[in-house]
Amino acid sequence: VGHRSWFGVGEGVLVLTFLPFLCLAAGFHQHFSTQEKTPQICVVGSGPAGFYTAQHLLKGRSLLCPQPTKLSSPALSGEGEGPWVPAPLSIPPTHHTQARVDIYEKQLVPFGLVRFGVAPDHPEVKNVINTFTQTAHSDRCAFWGNVEVGRDVTVPELQEAYHAVVLSYGAEDHQALDIPGEELPGVFSARAFVGWYNGLPENQELAPDLSCDTAVILGQGNVALDVARILLTPPEHLERTDITKAALGVLRQSQVKTVWIVGRRGPLQVAFTIKELREMIQLPGTRPILDPEDFLGLQDRIKEIPRPRKRLTELLLQTATEKPRVEEAAHLASASRAWGLRFFRSPLQVLPSPDGRRVAGIRLAVTRLEAVGEAIRAVPTGDMEDLPCGLVLSSIGYKSRPIDPSVPFDLKLGVIPNMEGRVVDVPGLYCSGWVKTGPTGVIGTTMNDSFLTGQMLLQDLKAGLLPSGPRPGSAAIQALLSSRGVQPVSFSDWEKLDAKEVARGQASGKPREKLVDPQEMLQLLGH
């Protein structure tokens, strides 16, 4: 039976994979011989994709077949309405009762974007860490932090030591604007800005200057709204979150009063979800700025669109066009800060200050929508406008990087070429998560995708397609790392750092005060 995939492109994207042969096999169950050698499996990356892959290999979960259901898992930055994922059907779970899984992570701490990407004021989204911790506590799972694959150890070396290697290292880069002035001080990627306030060590030197009145965010997804919300939230509302101490100090001094969130297309194409929009509309001390003209004619068109998008558009339309109630009007009139959505605008150039030392504005091309086949794209009209600002944050997408010269990589798509998670032309090598699909979907999407990759690996193992005979696993890699002066960090080491963060946070009423200096972390562990 054939394999079909549907790939969405653009906003609110999710990838659905239809595997008819799995759906038909209602009575299918894999039995692995207890005489089989212990499979040694390595996972690179300890974010959601890595941990969900490990979880499926160790414990198994119901296989997933497409059946529309509202997403129950939270989005990366919030509980979204709109994304849909395949619902689990009652197909018996599959896993290997003796497989050993080693998870390698370049950071000293685990959990990837759950720790470094989810907004500090969305603590409920981080509860998935409890599930990942249970997986890490398995006696057949080991976490090895402070190990950068591609630098400290190569993928071929991992392939020599393990029966299978799964690459789940995510999308750790950002899409460049590729416009003049992008290199000016005061221009940052939203990814780096999020990493800065969330304690990602490599972004702690960012030092954004928030002494300006106006900030511009390019892109209209959930990350863009996260960044806008953090910029405009009264600092006292962030005091009880796990935002870093340094970031909170800078935000206390912020002079930013207006944030423009700019998109190439229109209200029907925004990528953020309704939860994030509601949070912005209800943000204390702020008022929204929406141009009613951007919504002309939408009232009739929204009748035909799917319900989640319809509800989102109705809320936008209501906010833009309806007269507020008396008490709401008083609240808006007293607001000292504002945020606005600018539609049909595409960045052309970041404008420098007179001395050329920093950003002073951004030049935007006015666009219109044009249908190209089934796609709708923004094309320039020839008109331009300049928007003064002192801070530009680019939020037009994340992208993956190649990890090792031995691993195929599609630079145009930013993914490892694969078939259902099997890396093309490299037997025994697999991928899951964003490095497999591109940076699309939500945590629930990544969970399903990772389970499917794990399932492909287990099928190959059962079919005898992976190397036979024993493999040394972590013992060989630890010897290599030791010879190269690399000191891995274990999960129990992480739990010591975790306890230290929680203790430091308690002193100021926070859930934790994140450690952001790798050297301090190593010293605390006695390394």
Enter the tokens of residue 477.
């890699």
Q: Model's pTM, two decimal places?
A: 0.86
Given a contact cutoff of 8 angstroms between Cβ atoms, the answer to whether 237 and 419 are in contact is no
**β-pair type (214-218, 391-394):** parallel
Q: Give one DSSP letter per residue of 430-474, joined into a string.
A: EE-THHHH-S-S-HHHHHHHHHHHHHHHHHHHHTT-SPPS---TH
Q: Rounded CA gap, 265 and 495, in Å?
A: 45
Q: Rounded CA gap, 74 and 72, in Å?
A: 6
Q: Rounded CA gap, 402 and 407, in Å?
A: 8
What pLDDT was estimated at residue 391? 98
What pLDDT was estimated at residue 14? 31
Q: Give one DSSP letter per residue of 352-377, joined into a string.
A: EPTTSSSEEEEEEEEEEEEEETTEEE
Annotated ligand binding at 418? The verdict is no
Amino acid identity, residue 313? Answer: T
Annotated ligand binding at 262? The verdict is no
Annotated ligand binding at 255? The verdict is no
Annotated ligand binding at 105? The verdict is yes
Q: What DSSP state is assigned to residue 106?
A: S
Annotated ligand binding at 16? The verdict is no
Phi-psi region of 14 (alpha: psi -120 to 50; beta: other; left: phi over 0): beta
Annotated ligand binding at 504? The verdict is no
What pLDDT was estimated at residue 139? 95
Domains of the chain, CATH where assigned: 40-59+95-172+400-489 (3.40.50.720), 176-396 (3.50.50.60)
Enter the tokens of residue 354.
């007179």
Annotated ligand binding at 221? The verdict is yes
What pLDDT was estimated at residue 302? 86
**β-pair type (100-104, 40-44):** parallel
H or E element: which one contains 244? none
Residues in the chain: 527
Sign of CA dihedral 320, 325, 330, 331: negative
Annotated ligand binding at 49? The verdict is yes
What pLDDT was estimated at residue 415? 96
Annotated ligand binding at 108? The verdict is no
Give 376's contacts (C-beta < 8 A, 6+ positions apart): 265, 269, 369, 370
What pLDDT was estimated at residue 325? 77
Q: Which residues of 363-398 are buried (b: 16+ CB within 10 A; e: fewer)?
A: bbbebeeeeeeeeeebeeeeeeeebebbbbbbbbbb
Annotated ligand binding at 223? The verdict is yes
Annotated ligand binding at 220? The verdict is yes
Annotated ligand binding at 434? The verdict is yes
Annotated ligand binding at 423? The verdict is no
Mean pLDDT by 10 residues, the chain (527 residues): 32 33 35 58 98 92 38 35 37 70 98 96 95 97 98 98 97 91 96 97 95 97 97 96 97 97 95 95 94 89 88 94 78 87 97 95 96 84 97 94 96 95 96 94 90 96 92 96 97 98 94 97 95
What pLDDT was estimated at residue 449? 95
Annotated ligand binding at 26? The verdict is no
Query: Which ranges of 8-127 does DSSP label H, i.e. alpha helix?
Result: 20-24, 48-58, 112-116
What pLDDT was estimated at residue 60? 60
Annotated ligand binding at 441? The verdict is yes
